[in-house]
Structure 1
Amino acid sequence: MLLTKFTHACVRLEKDGKVLVFDPGTFSETDRALAGADAVLITHEHADHIDVEAVTAALLASATLQLFAPAGVAAQLREKAPEAASRVHPVEPGDEFGTAGFAVRSFGGQHALIHPQIPVVANIGYLVDGNVYHPGDSFIVPDGVDVRTLLVPIHGPWSKVGEVIDFVIGVRARKAYPIHDALLNESGSGLVEGHVSRFGAKYGTEYLHLSTGDAVEV
């Protein structure tokens, strides 16, 4: 399976001629990420994880594109694109489903706390093919599974470095790659990734940097 990183939290998976995309948000190259996509997984409603206009356009431009998202996001997209409503699916924690040849399990339920006065929204983490785990904006460790490839939210207004490290230690994936890094400059990302790489290695996780556009086999 080929994994390609786009800016921030957007990641594209390709397998057997099929394409699955995580979180094509407003910080990302949505046109490139969504080109030829067969399925889209949305973790939560924040704009850096879903560019509503771009995703709506993609749904209307394709007769087969399937989209999975928390219920509130799914309802919004069904309203904006009623023609595609049957291809927009609400997801709850603990769901298991197949799409475009990929097997998906969902975890979590809510976004990490930013501040007590900022409402907490629904957030779904997705594990694809028992391999790639995208947690969205959360540090939910998927229970009862052996994650092989972890996508690590390196930085956000809801996290601190110690929590990032503990998340990597808790999941103990074989390999880990960065997401959610658009708000960091080169110095900041280097500092955080250095800590994650060093501590992750102690617990069996090889952390590798990916820049926007980089692709790896996972």
Structure 2
Amino acid sequence: MLLTKFTHACVRLEQDGRLLVLDPGIFSETATALDGANAILITHEHADHIDAPPVLSALAANPALTVHAPAGVAASLRDAAPEQAGQVLDAAPGDRFTAAGFAVQCFGGQHALIHPTMPIVANLGYLIDDDVYHPGDSLIVPDGVSVGTLLVPVHAPWSKVSEVVDFVVSVRAPRAFQIHDALLNERGLGFTESHIARIGEAHGVKFRHLNPGESVDI
């Protein structure tokens, strides 16, 4: 499986000519990420995880393309493009389905708390092919499974470094790569990633930084 990192929280998975895209948001190279996509997974409704106009354009251009998202996000997409409503499917915690030929399991259910005055929205973590886990905007540890490749939200308004490190240690995947990094400058990112790499290594996790557009075989 080939994993390609795009800016912020967007990644693309390719295998045997099948292409799955996760969280193509406004900070990402959305049009490039979606080029040739067979399916899209959206973790939650925030714009840095879904850039709706290019997603809707991709649906219109490819009737075989499907989007899987929490019910509220899916409903918004169907309202915006009734002609493509059949291509947009609800996803919920505990669901299992196939997207672009990849096996998908859904975990979590809620976005991490940003502040008590701000509403908590639905958020799903996705485990793909019993290997790659994208938690969206949460630090939910998937239960009952072993994760091979962890995508780590290294910085957010809702997290702190100790929580991110504890998440990495708890999941204990042998491989880990950063996501949700667009709000950090180079110094801040290096500081945070050094803690993740050092403490993660002590628990058997090999953390590696991926630049936007960089791909790795997993």
Classify the TM-score, shorter chain: over 0.9
Superposition TM-score, scaled by structure 1 size:
0.99
**Pairwise CA distance, 1:83:** 1.3
In structure 2, stretches of 5+ residues that fail to align are: none
Question: What aligned pairs does 1:42-191 form with structure 2 within 5 A after superposition?
Answer: 42-191=42-191
Kindly state the Cα deviation for residue 82 of structure 1 after the two structures are TM-superposed.
1.1
C-alpha root-mean-square deviation of aligned residues, in Å? 0.5
Distance 2:155 2:24 in 1: 18
Amino acid at match of 2:13: L
Query: 1:194-205, aligned counterparts within 5 Å?
Result: 194-205=194-205
Aligned residue for 2:11?
11
Deviation (angstroms), 1:155: 0.2
Amino acid at match of 1:97: F
In the TM superposition, what is the alpha-carbon distance from 1:54 to its structure 2 partner?
A: 1.1
The equivalent of 2:208 in structure 1 is 208
Aligned to 2:139, the other structure's residue is in SS state coil
Query: Share of identical aligned residues, percent?
Result: 64
Aligned-partner SS, 1:176? strand
Deviations 1:116-149 (A, max 9, x none): 0010000000000001000000000000000000
Separation of aligned partners in 2, 1:142 and 1:125: 8
Provide the aligned length of Structure 1 versus Structure 2.
218
Give 1:99 deviation, angstroms. Answer: 1.7
In 2, distance between residues paired with 1:192 and 1:122?
27
CA shift for structure 1 position 95: 0.3
For residues 188 and 20 of structure 1, the distance between their equivalents in structure 2, rounded to whole angstroms, comes to 30
Distance 2:46 2:188 in 1: 23
Looking at structure 2, the residues matched to 18 and 37 of structure 1 have their Cα atoms a distance apart, in angstroms, of 8
CA distance in structure 1 between the aligned counterparts of 2:149 and 2:73, rounded to whole angstroms: 26
Q: What residue identity is the alignment partner of 2:172?
A: R
Kindly provide the amino acid, as one letter, of the partner of residue 70 in structure 1. P
In the alignment, the residues of structure 2 paired with residue 45 and residue 99 of structure 1 have an alpha-carbon distance, to the nearest angstrom, of 19
- Regions of 4+ moved over 3 Å: none
- 1:73 and 1:115 mapped to 2: Cα distance? 21
Residue 144 of structure 2 aligns to a residue whose secondary structure is: coil
Cα deviation code 1:49-106 (max 9, x no counterpart): 0001111111111110010000000000011111111111111100000121100000
CA–CA separation in structure 2 for the residues paired with 1:216 and 1:30: 19
